[in-house]
Each structure stands twice: as structure tokens, then as C-alpha cells.
Amino acid sequence: MSRAVRIGNVSGFYGDRIDAAREMVDAGDVDVVCGDYLAELTMLILAKAQARDGGVGYARTFLTQVEQILAGCAERGIRIVANAGGLDPAGLAGAVRAVAAAQGVTVRVAHVEGDDLRGDLSAIVPAVEGTPVSANAYLGAWGIAEALAAGADVVVTGRVTDASLVVGPAAWWHGWAREDWDALAGAVVAGHVIECGPQATGGNYPFLDEITDRRYPGFPIAEVAADGSSVITKPEGTGGLVSVGTVTAQLLYEIGPPAYLGPDVTAHFDTIRLEQAGEHRVAIDGVRGSPPPETLKVALNDVGGYRNTMTLVLTGLEVEAKAAWAKELLFGILDRDAFDDVDVRLLRFDHPDAGSNPEATAHLRITVKGADRRLVGRTFSNATMQLALGGYAGFHTTTPPTDATAFGIYRPAAVSRDAVAHTVVLPDGTRRRVADPPVRRPAPPVAPLRGGAPSGAGAVPVPPRGAGDAPAAPRGDEQSGAGAAPAAQRAGEPGGGRTRRVPLGAVAGARSGDKGGDANIGVWARDRPGHEWLAALLTPRRVRELLGPEAADLDVTVFDLPNLHAVNVVVHGLLGDGVASSTRPDPQAKGLGEYLRSRVVDVPEHLLAE
């Protein structure tokens, strides 16, 4: 088909806005609606649900949306593609057929499977110890494309990459081949932009003054052309904003190196070009692609034991002394060594001579982990409450005594493609093995660059292009060459001329999130001079200083993305064993970017004037 395919996202996570699907079908004028329901934590949640008597391993909220839109989609010829199948895509396909039968709607339903590796863990690298509750390879888009080509109206999958929900429909619509690297890479970028729903249309956007329509943002639409270029927009008349800024923010969300590895293609994010193409319309082009790696990513989730948290409130004077005494009393009642892990954090919100009682309070947050559910549960929380009358002045807690809850541990791994049976089950029941794309030959193994100890180039080279299109390099504290800050600037704050001490957020936006146990912070400037200053400022050493004690001993990698006026910061190990296990108050690092923006730095006055 010659025109661009219009693909509307209606879910960014399991639990997102139910009405988004109906609103997209009614007002979006789309060819395909897609929804992303899976994340590393979601797979753990679905595994627990599946294990219960009568439990299912798919996202139930998707069925609610299907009930709302199935008849309308059938009438208008709109296809539905979603990864809501989770750990049971066949079961979800059957449930969709049941909805269709109940409504008297005739639709053809297909599903994609083969990602669930729990039946045979032997090919996973590194070798798997124990029995994980979930083990899923990240499949690509070609199963979806083949299902649509066979006439499916609804396609549900297990763990495919988030972007595959856009790549598959685009590849089917335009008839792409598996070697159309640039077109596929462009669709990956479009898919990455819309996969998190309204985060691309003004949600979680740091520059609030730019969003003049404060209604709940409309969900995003990607218009993907035959060459892989795209336009990001939203249904007419909906709230929010689609701008170069909002699209940049989402492009930087939860990424690592500029060479974005996927099962179908390696998309080079340092080749992306953005342009405002009209009101609430942002054009994306220039994206280059190259063959994908030989292996597929695998996400493993284990049950890690039990955890419990109690938060003690400290008010007024001598907060640190009160906190120290509370810890001494508590671990006099309990044997601290009986727990596998103890995390104690004093969170200061108080200030002297506060104008109200809440403004004079701090929190002592104590989290314990262990294999003994009773010890971690009521034994711990009841012991905490023994401080109520025998502890510090003003003792109270934010919650009553609580039971322990199970927590999970996330582990990334890899698996050979030939060990994964990527399979599409067509509407007529035919099972078809999905062929792999050509892959790049492995390069000599190198360690990623972290925290100033360059040990090789970890990125896949971008295919040759014109001058100025060299890929961005990761930057260490002392590295010189492409992407590195000038040595004269690395010693302190970069730049010359007059400066003012203001928050970094006065001249830079940020979007942060989790990548397994790592945290990523994408930071961007409004223009090229701002980017040059920002790229010189944010060396790994300076990032550690700005993020404070919790990052002081961690490896930090900074990747430069000049086309986006941005840098991507990866803080390795900040989240430990992943979101389900992290003891940080912000376990997914969602607020880390805003914290970085709040730090005061010396900013050149000419950037502030602009």
C-alpha cells in the first residue's frame, strides 16, 4: 500500500487507561491499534497470577478493551495487535474468540508464541541455576507481519519487543523484506516513541509551561511511511502536546547505547532526525539500520524471598539522633544478622522553624529481606511498634504493622536464535515457524565503556554515510576523541564567559527509567549550543557528583546523541536486581531525571538568555 499506515497506541503498561482504546477507534482514524502490556515486572506478576488456581497468564485489561472496540474495529477494518498474551497467548486468543462469539462479531484471531523458555532452559547464557518463574526471549515483528498477511484481524503475542507492535504492522502494510534495514529501523524508532502511550504526547514532560492543553493527553499515533520515516501525532481534539521536545523525551526513555539492538534490526539512534511538521505533528527520518545480533535477549524472573518495609516519622529537633536511637533500639530487639538484607534510609523533608507540622518531619525507612516469611513479616513490623512508647519523642509510623510480601529478582540473559521456536498460529489453526532475519557476524568480545575505563567500542558501527554521521561514542572521564568533552573543560564546569548558578533544569530536560538493574537518564538541551555545553558538563565523574552518595561508587556511562541535542546517561547497578527487588523509594528511577535537573550548576548566561 502506497500511503503511510496509521498505528495508534492504546496502552503503555498493564493497568493503563482502559478508555484509550475506545477513544482511539472513535477519533484516531487509524488502520491498526496496538497496545503494550508487558514489562520485566509484569512477567513476574503474570507468573504469580498463572500459578494460582484458576489463574491466567495474560493481561485481563486487554479483554475489557476488546469488549469495547471489537465491533467498531470489525466494521471499520481496523486491525488489533497487542502483546497482552504474556505467558499464555494461546489462552488470550481463545478468550478474544469468546468475546467475538458473545457479541456476534466475525473476526479472525491469530497468536504468536515460542518466547516462553521455561520448558527448556539449557540454551540460555549464562547457564540458569534453579527454576525461574518466568523465562522469556524477546521475539521480533515477523510473526505479527505474517499473521496480518494471512488475514488476521486480531494478533496477540507473548514477549515480543515493545517496538515490534509497530514494526510488524508496518512491515505487513508496506511489504518490507527482512533486509530492509533502514525502513525497519525507522519503524523501531516510531514504535519506541509510541510504546509508552501518552509519554509521547505531553505525559511526564518536564517543561510544563509548553503544555497549554492540560487535559489528559491523547494517546499517540505513528504514521509510518514506506521508507520507514514517520510522523508522530495524536487524535484531533485530544489533550496534551506533540512536539520535538515530547518526542525527544520518549526517544531517550529506557535506552542504552545508540546502537539499539533488536531481534529484527539494529536501529542507530544517533542517526535520528526530528522536525516539527505542523501542530502536534513531528516528523522522524534519517534513521539507519543494520543487521541484528546473533542472539536474542532473555528476561528471567526468580522469586527472591520476602521483604517488608516500615517507615518511622521523626519530627522537629535532633532528627539524626532520634534516627540513630531508633535503629539501636530496633536491632537490640531483633538480630540484624538474621535478615538477608537490611536497608535503612533517613529521608529528610524537615527544615528549621517549619511553618507547619508536616514540614518539620523526616522519614526513617527500614526495609528487610529474607527467606523466613514470619521473621520478615509480623516479627519485624511488630518489633518496630515496640518503639511506640519506649523510643524517641513523637514516634509514629506511616503505616500499621504489615505482613511480608514476596519479591522477585530480574536477570538478563541471552539465547541462540536456533533454540527459540518463534511460531505464528494463523486464524485457521495452521502453525508456521517464523524465519529469522540475516544477522551480523559477531565482533570480538569487548566490555562496555564504564566510568572512565575505555576497553573497546561496544556499539555496532553505523553503515557509511555522509560526513558528520559518525556514530556517537560512549564517554569515559578521561577519554578523548569522538563524543568526549575537551580536556580543559573536564576539570570543572565547562564553557567560558559569565555564568550563573541555577538548576540544570533551567536549560535541560530529562526523562529517566529502569533498564533491569541499571537506571537511564536521557538529558537534552533545546539547541546545539546548549547540547555542546551539556555534553561537556555530564562526564561520568560529574554525573556521580550530581547524583550524590548512592551513585558515588557506581559505574556510569554517558553516550552522546548530537542529532537529538542530547546525552544518555546509564547508571549501572543503581536498582540492584531490578524493580521487584530494589529497596530505593523510587525503585524504577522514574524521578531520577528530575532530581538531576534540580541540581545547581554553573550555566553560561547566554544559554539562560536564549
d(CA 483, CA 561): 9
Q: How many helices (H) and strands (E) does the chain have?
A: 17, 28
Cell numbers that stand for 147 in this block = 499473521
Helix axes 60-76, 89-103, angle to 10 degrees: 50
Residue partners of 173: CB distance under 8 A and separation at least 6:
1, 5, 31, 224
Q: What is the pLDDT of residues 426-463, one digit of tens each?
A: 999 999 999 999 998 665 443 333 343 333 334 456 55
pLDDT score of 387: 97
Helix (H) or strand (E) run with residue 190 in it: helix 181-194
pLDDT score of 440: 84
DSSP secondary-structure letter at 239?
B
Averaged pLDDT for residues 303-317: 97
Least confident of 69-73, 447-451, 525-529: 447-451
d(CA 554, CA 397): 32
- What's the CA angle centered on 252, arms 269 and 573, to 5 degrees? 105
d(CA 514, CA 576): 11
Give all strands (DSSP E) within 163-316, no chain letters: 221-224, 230-233, 259-261, 266-268, 273-278, 281-285, 288-290, 295-315
The model's pTM is 0.92
For the chain, what percent of residues have pLDDT higher than 90?
A: 89
The alpha carbon of 453 is separated from its chain's Cα centroid by a whole number of angstroms, namely: 27
pLDDT score of 476: 52
Residue 149, judged by CB atoms within 10 A of its CB (0-12, 13-18, 19+), counts as middle
d(CA 51, CA 140): 27
Q: Provide the residue ranges of all domains of the chain, joining segments of one domain with +.
A: 5-120+137-292+422-433, 303-403, 474-609
Averaged pLDDT for residues 533-546: 98
pLDDT score of 609: 81
Distances from the Cα of 486 to the Cα of 476, 477, 489, 493, angstroms: 12, 11, 5, 11
Residue partners of 318: CB distance under 8 A and separation at least 6:
none
- The architecture (CATH level 2) of 303-403 comes to 2-Layer Sandwich (3.30)
d(CA 586, CA 514): 10
pLDDT band at 265 (very low <50, low <70, confident <90, very high): very high
Q: How would you classify residue 116: left for phi > 0, otherwise alpha for psi between -120 and 50, otherwise beta?
A: beta
pLDDT score of 469: 38
